[in-house]
Amino acid sequence: MPMRARRAVWTDIDLALLKYLMWLAEPDKVDCHKVAHLFQTHSLQDIQKRCACIRDLERRRERRRILNEQHVGSTEEPDSPTSVIALPPAGRLHPALVWVPSTGEEIGPMNLGT
């Protein structure tokens, strides 16, 4: 069974410096050969892999933020409880149904176990 490569340990300062260098460079144009000279404890492969991980994480966060904005905008509650609008099916009434709050007479007296 082949041995796995040793996991690179990145300090907070190293990560902050690498993120700053990635921010300075054009998108996806980080010169890892030049950046490798700044990090004595990390190889070129470590730096390339970490840059890809940071870039992918930022893309996922941006995509998640956009999806959340779209989702929040599409599921706004109606102004009135009797408004009929198309709502998502999860835990909601069908848009054709109208919710009418129950009254105390319909429910009856509460039995608190006494």
35: nearest Cα among 27, 46, 8: 46
CB-based contacts of 18: which residues, under 8 Å, 6+ apart?
10, 35, 39, 47, 50, 51, 54
Q: What is this structure's pTM?
A: 0.55
Cα angle, residue 38 at apex, residues 37 and 39 outer, rounded to 5°: 95
pLDDT tens series, the chain, 114 aa: 677 767 778 899 999 999 999 888 877 788 888 888 888 889 899 999 999 999 999 999 999 998 888 876 655 555 565 555 555 556 666 667 777 777 777 777 777 776
